[in-house]
Chain A
Amino acid sequence: MNVAPRYLGRGSWLARRDPRVLILAIALFVFAVVQVWDGRLMVVLAVVAFLYYRTAGIPFRAVRYQWAYVLIFVGFIVTTNTIITGGELRGIDPRSVHTYFYLPLFGTPVSAESTSYAITQLLRFLSMAALGFPIAFAIGPSDIGPAFARLHVPDRFAYAIDLTFRFIPSLAGEMQTTIDAQRIRGYDYERVGRGPLGRIRRTVPVLVPVTINAIVGAEDTIDAMDLRCFGTGRRTWLRELVMDRTDRALLVGFALLFLLVTVLAFNGASNLWVFPFLIPG
């Protein structure tokens, strides 16, 4: 089990940026992109997102499973939205849709409008995921805490985020060790049968010892923090973060993109746009 943060983008253009820029960039982009249902604007935003992703220099081979997960999950969201809504789309008169055919069993119409909706939603999620990957793979794990602290997240919470990243590799290792130890005693988590309730119960021999060990082991960390007078004064961070001109330019670029998209959304970009090539005849 290897869930430790991997610094795959080390040395890339984006990894050399101030980590605060990466966090603010995705926040601005997510709030921009959720306003858009115009496919033309979404294509532009998707291009921006993937150009940004390219600058992180993350090798595709190392993240192909994560991309596969994203594609499957997005595909599932898009499909269920289409099926459950029965082809009803916000701002579209059901009598004016260009229907291709009806889905067997569900009776849901598949139309030029619902296909445009699906394409736009697909692009939206893929764009958001593209901006999310650099946070996982192009920020040095030791920079996470200082980055949140310098974003004015309260010191204690910033430190807790930093601690979380530090705990992940050791606790993942501990969980794997516990699973192996229980296997020697005949434990088999993947054994089929007895339904979901049985499977939940089968996690108990792993979750309970891992949790209790982690909590008991944390006493040393707590004592160490208390002995160093943690929380009695304002915390300082060893890592200094300084934004250079490129960082500021990138941040201003994303802020302008957010403002532009917001203005466009008030002027029609929040309405679904149907791709002309999908309209029959």
Chain B
Amino acid sequence: MSTMGMSRNGLWEVSSRVIVYAAIGAALYAISAQFSMLIPGTASVSVRPGFAFVTFFGFAFGPVAGLFTGLVGNALADQISGWGLLTSWNWSVAAGVVGLLAGLTPSFLKSWMGTPSRMLAAAAVGPAVAVIVGYLIVISDIVLGTAENLNVVFADNYGPVVVSNVITVVILTPILVAAWQPIKEQLGR
């Protein structure tokens, strides 16, 4: 039951398939979040390839799977690293919203995604927009005291994360979608 061929009515269904895929997505994100790399020339901007799991699971299996992958995966990644499950809960919510928005992309672009190349383009653009919009939630850092003002939020939190995650999802989400598409047809999903 992939969203890439799902009607809007079936988007919010929480079937056993969605539950298992969401759990796999969250586990993969939590594991792979341990591998990050600093972008040379910056103080804090690191690229996390694992973030592509959030947008891929949303794009391929629907907004519920995307939301769960981002929300629970991010919280678990923080927990594994020692930062704590709820210490930065608003960042987990932001990652969840990114997954949810990425999951809505195929439904909204369904009529446009007629060819494989267009579908891959949608798999790059939709998640990129989802990252830009979803991470606006981290502005709540000002209320929570992690950032003193908007300058800090945009210079230190939102800006670097959005740049690195957009780069990641634009490269990796279409690759994962392209790899999944033939398997999906083979499995008859």
Q: Are A160 and B68 in contact (CB under 8 A)?
A: yes
- A215-B25 Cα distance, complex, nearest whole Å: 9
CB distance from B178 to the nearest CB of A (A): 9
Residues of A close to B180: CB separation below 8 A: 211-212, 215
- A200-B176 Cα distance, complex, nearest whole Å: 13
Q: Are B16 and A167 in contact (CB under 8 A)?
A: no
- Interface presence of B23 (CB below 8 A): yes
With contacts A160-B23, A160-B72, A211-B176 taken as known, whether A3 is within 8 angstroms of B34 at the C-beta atoms is yes
- Interface presence of B8 (CB below 8 A): no
Count B interface residues, CB 8 Å: 66
- A234-B10 Cα distance, complex, nearest whole Å: 21
- Interface presence of A201 (CB below 8 A): yes
- A135-B80 Cα distance, complex, nearest whole Å: 10
Q: Are A207 and B145 in contact (CB under 8 A)?
A: no
Q: Are A159 and B167 in contact (CB under 8 A)?
A: no
Q: Are B87 and A132 in contact (CB under 8 A)?
A: yes
The B interface, classified by DSSP as helix, strand, loop or mixed, is helix
A231 in complex: contacting residue of B16, B79, B145, B172, CB < 8 Å: B16
- A175-B56 Cα distance, complex, nearest whole Å: 18
CB distance from B29 to the nearest CB of A (A): 10
Q: Are A80 and B156 in contact (CB under 8 A)?
A: yes
CB closest residue in chain B, given A216: B183
Q: Are A26 and B84 in contact (CB under 8 A)?
A: yes
Residues of B close to A132: CB separation below 8 A: 78-79, 82-87
Residues of A close to B89: CB separation below 8 A: 30
Would you give the 0/1 interface string for A52-74, flagging 1 where the beta carbon is closer than 8 Å to chain B?
A: 00000000000101110110010
Which residues of B from 69 to 94 have beta carbons under 8 Å from A? Answer: 72-73, 76, 78-87, 89
- A219-B37 Cα distance, complex, nearest whole Å: 33
- Interface presence of B22 (CB below 8 A): yes
Q: Are A204 and B172 in contact (CB under 8 A)?
A: yes
Which residues of A from 117 to 137 have beta carbons under 8 Å from B? Answer: 117, 121, 124-125, 128-129, 131-133, 135-136
Q: Are B47 and A172 in contact (CB under 8 A)?
A: no
- A66-B78 Cα distance, complex, nearest whole Å: 10
Q: Are B87 and A30 in contact (CB under 8 A)?
A: yes
- Interface presence of B102 (CB below 8 A): no
Q: Are A231 and B83 in contact (CB under 8 A)?
A: no
- A175-B34 Cα distance, complex, nearest whole Å: 12
Specify which of A63, A128, A201, A211 lies most central, judged by the most chain B CB atoms within 10 Å of its CB. A211
- A200-B171 Cα distance, complex, nearest whole Å: 8
CB distance from A204 to the nearest CB of B (A): 6
CB distance from A9 to the nearest CB of B (A): 14
Q: Are B149 and A88 in contact (CB under 8 A)?
A: yes
Q: Are B144 and A222 in contact (CB under 8 A)?
A: no
- A160-B24 Cα distance, complex, nearest whole Å: 9
Q: List 21 A-B contacts (CB under 8 A).
A: A3-B31, A26-B84, A30-B89, A67-B82, A69-B81, A85-B148, A88-B148, A133-B82, A133-B84, A136-B80, A156-B14, A160-B22, A166-B23, A197-B171, A199-B47, A207-B49, A207-B50, A211-B28, A215-B180, A225-B20, A230-B16
A66 in complex: contacting residue of B81, B87, B151, CB < 8 Å: B81
- Interface presence of B19 (CB below 8 A): yes
Residues of A close to B7: CB separation below 8 A: none
